[in-house]
């Protein structure tokens, strides 16, 4: 307790330093390591997390028990519940015990995939050890309080003393793996009489007396090395010492049953693989930087980790296979619906991942107990009997109403998420279509430019027919290619095909009516065809845009001379600066 209080005082001093100076050391929080795997940014949090993992691989999983703020909250809630006469018991939810591993891989390893695919490498791009935005990566006050309520209180109340650690904490997953490599463990001497005092005081849900009997050490990766069991042993039989790590430890007492062969374990492995893949699919479904196609790779990696580091402790009283399927489906439905859902209508902040995990596990528990209430004559939730002698109790009816309300919330959230996902898909498809159209247009314009250049070279060589064909090809690829259209019109006029030339000049002006040069060229073409009225109108349009336009003024001056208006001709030439 003293150590945990000191840790929180240090956290408060860190926050106070930032508040006083506006800049401080980046948060010493494991989640900050995401910046390293996602962007290659090395910060203090990543170094802190790496040191915690390495020290765990040597000394065991002590960090959780001695330095985690959420463990402190869970311990405080457990203490309060015990003061109220409620001692939470651990609940075995089968497949859901894999959730922390999945979330660890998703949070810290999955962000490497886009970097690898883009060829960015997985090294350190730059360092960032100070920050002015200390709270940028943390949820707001309401979501933080809800997270502590769900993870620190409700999960302890309904799932046992370390409910959040067991079923939701991604950091606990990697610490549990590293713990299996640690040579430093809690071990036992021959003075042990198996009295069970150690198990009675353990708040990490470890059956200490069985572990030391069967393994001569605590091999459960859930052990957080709080040392309560060591301090309470009446024979001083427990101690911290070096020896074989849990991964290679051998049983001191033979198992009561033979382990199932590989063939017998295949259905279980298939169920685990399906759950891992489905959970990654749900997590990736709404992730902007990660794609669903990576679910298989991530599930495979997680399955390998689960098989290599399975933990040697035994779990009792688990659900049946069908119950595990129902638990998994309920968990996935709630995770999909609640993660990113606007739970509080008065604020825009969405439900963060860790809070969504806690709520999804509690929803799975509610569904699990509800189906048992329909099928069994005796059902209990911790100290409350929900069904007794085949009859639903008052506590059971209250639970059923709360479970029904919870189901309604999940259903509403899931419907909102489906609707939002559909809108996002439509928007994404529209963006992809626009991007494809832009790429096609860029390619067409590039080819049109090539055709245009070929036409220019042909025109310069006097091959007018070849030039006109090239300009027509350029316009077929890019109808808005003004230079190609004007040059095509000029080629037609040069070949005496004035009608076609005038048509293309007018087409060019329909697209770019502000081009004075095109108006002037249209006037020349009309004059050469003998349509002087149209020629005059075109030249007048040109000088309205550019009053000093020489070509248009000269054409109007010639018209004036033909009409005998010499003063008008002189005025036009003067306006053109001639």
Q: What is the pLDDT of residue 258?
A: 44
Secondary structure (3-state) at 184: strand
CA distance 452 to 448: 6
Q: What is the pLDDT of residue 121?
A: 77
Q: What is the pLDDT of residue 448?
A: 93
CA distance 488 to 466: 11
Secondary structure (3-state) at 381: strand
> Is 424 inside any structural domain?
no
Number of domains, the chain: 1
> Is 315 inside any structural domain?
yes
C-alpha distances (whole Å) from 263 to each of 269, 272, 558 are 10, 15, 101
Secondary structure (3-state) at 188: strand
Tokens of 538: 């075109």
> Is 220 inside any structural domain?
yes
Secondary structure (3-state) at 126: strand
C-alpha distances (whole Å) from 144 to each of 139, 338, 451, 452 are 6, 15, 63, 63
Kindly provide the b/e burial profile for residues 513-534, where b requires at least 16 CB atoms within 10 angstroms of the residue's own CB.
eebbebbbbbbbbbbebebbeb
Helix, strand, coil percentages in the chain from 3-state DSSP, rounded to 5: 65, 5, 30
> Is 485 inside any structural domain?
no
Lookup result for tokens 């390998």: 304
Of the candidates 203, 152, 158, the one whose C-alpha atom is nearest the C-alpha of residue 383 is 158
> Is 429 inside any structural domain?
no
Q: What is the pLDDT of residue 254?
A: 64
Domain assignment of residue 114, given as a range: 2-125+141-254+263-392
Q: What is the pLDDT of residue 464?
A: 92
CA distance 104 to 85: 35
CA distance 145 to 362: 17
Contacts of 530 (CB under 8 A, 6+ apart): none
> Is 538 inside any structural domain?
no
Secondary structure (3-state) at 380: strand
> Is 566 inside any structural domain?
no
In Å, how far from its chain's centre is CA 188? 45
Element containing residue 21 per DSSP (H, E): helix 2-21
Kindly provide the b/e burial profile for residues 290-303, where b requires at least 16 CB atoms within 10 angstroms of the residue's own CB.
beeebbeebbebbb
Q: What is the pLDDT of residue 137?
A: 83
Q: What is the pLDDT of residue 520?
A: 93
Q: What is the pLDDT of residue 139?
A: 84
CA distance 485 to 495: 15
Q: What is the pLDDT of residues 82-134, one digit of tens each?
A: 998 888 999 999 999 999 999 999 999 999 998 888 887 778 889 999 999 98
Entry pTM: 0.79
Q: What is the pLDDT of residue 434?
A: 93
Lookup result for tokens 């690898």: 116
Contact status, residue 61 vs residue 223, Cβ threshold 8 Å:
yes
Q: How many residues in total does the chain contain?
A: 578
Contact status, residue 99 vs residue 279, Cβ threshold 8 Å:
yes
> Is 80 inside any structural domain?
yes
Q: What is the pLDDT of residue 532?
A: 92
* CB burial of residue 203 (10 Å; 0-12, 13-18, 19+): buried
Phi (first) and psi of residue 185, to 5 degrees: -145, 170
CA distance 420 to 459: 57
Residues of the chain with pLDDT under 70: 253-264, 286-289, 578
């Amino acid at each position: 307790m003293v150590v945990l209080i000191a840790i929180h005082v240090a956290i408060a001093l860190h926050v106070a330093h930032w508040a006083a100076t506006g800049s401080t050391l980046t948060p010493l929080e494991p989640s900050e390591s995401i910046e390293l795997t996602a962007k290659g940014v090395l910060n203090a949090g990543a170094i802190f997390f790496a040191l915690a993992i390495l020290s765990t691989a040597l000394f065991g999983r002590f960090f959780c028990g001695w330095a985690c703020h959420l463990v402190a909250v869970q311990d405080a809630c457990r203490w309060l519940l015990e003061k109220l006469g409620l001692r939470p018991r651990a609940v075995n939810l089968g497949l859901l015990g894999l959730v922390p591993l999945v979330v660890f891989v998703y949070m810290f390893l999955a962000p490497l995939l886009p970097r690898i695919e883009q060829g960015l490498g997985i090294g350190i791009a730059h360092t960032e050890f100070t920050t002015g935005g200390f709270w940028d990566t943390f949820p707001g006050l309401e979501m933080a309080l809800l997270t502590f309520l769900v993870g620190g209180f409700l999960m302890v109340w309904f799932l046992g003393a370390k409910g959040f650690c067991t079923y939701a904490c991604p950091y606990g997953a990697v610490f549990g793996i590293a713990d299996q490599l640690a040579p430093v463990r809690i071990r036992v001497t021959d003075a042990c009489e198996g009295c069970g005092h150690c198990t009675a005081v353990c708040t990490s849900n470890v059956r200490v007396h069985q572990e030391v009997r069967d393994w001569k050490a605590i091999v459960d990766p859930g052990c957080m090395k709080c040392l309560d069991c060591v301090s309470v042993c009446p024979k001083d039989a427990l101690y911290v010492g070096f020896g074989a790590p849990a991964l290679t430890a051998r049983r001191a007492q033979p198992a009561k049953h033979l382990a199932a062969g590989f063939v017998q374990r295949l259905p279980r492995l298939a169920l685990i693989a399906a759950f891992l893949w489905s959970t990654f699919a749900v997590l990736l479904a709404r992730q902007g930087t990660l794609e669903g196609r990576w679910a298989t790779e991530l599930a495979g990696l997680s399955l390998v980790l689960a098989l290599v580091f399975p933990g040697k402790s035994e779990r009792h009283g688990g659900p049946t296979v069908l119950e595990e399927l129902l638990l998994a489906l309920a968990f996935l439905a709630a995770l999909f619906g609640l993660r990113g859902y606007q739970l509080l209508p008065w604020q825009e902040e969405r439900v963060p991942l860790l809070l969504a995990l806690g709520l999804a596990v509690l929803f799975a528990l509610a569904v699990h107990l509800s189906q048992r209430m329909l099928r069994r004559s005796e059902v209990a939730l911790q100290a409350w009997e929900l069904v007794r002698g085949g009859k639903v109790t008052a506590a059971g009816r209250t639970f059923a109403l709360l479970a029904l309300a919870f189901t309604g919330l999940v259903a509403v959230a899931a419907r909102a998420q489906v609707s939002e996902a559909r809108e996002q898909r439509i928007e994404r498809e529209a963006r992809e279509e626009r991007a494809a159209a832009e790429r096609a247009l860029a390619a067409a314009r590039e080819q049109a430019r090539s055709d245009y250049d070929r036409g220019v070279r042909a025109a310069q060589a006097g091959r007018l027919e070849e030039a006109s064909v090239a300009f027509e090809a350029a316009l077929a690829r890019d109808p808005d290619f003004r230079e190609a259209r004007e040059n095509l019109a000029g080629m037609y006029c040069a070949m005496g095909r004035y009608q076609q030339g005038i048509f293309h000049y007018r087409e060019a002006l329909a697209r770019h009516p502000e081009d004075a040069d095109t108006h002037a060229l249209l006037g020349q073409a009309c004059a050469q065809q003998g349509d002087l009225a149209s020629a005059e109108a075109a030249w007048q349009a040109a000088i309205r845009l550019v009053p000093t336009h020489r070509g248009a003024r000269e054409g109007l001056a010639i018209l004036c001379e033909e009409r005998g208006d010499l003063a008008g001709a002189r005025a036009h030439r003067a306006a053109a600066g001639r």
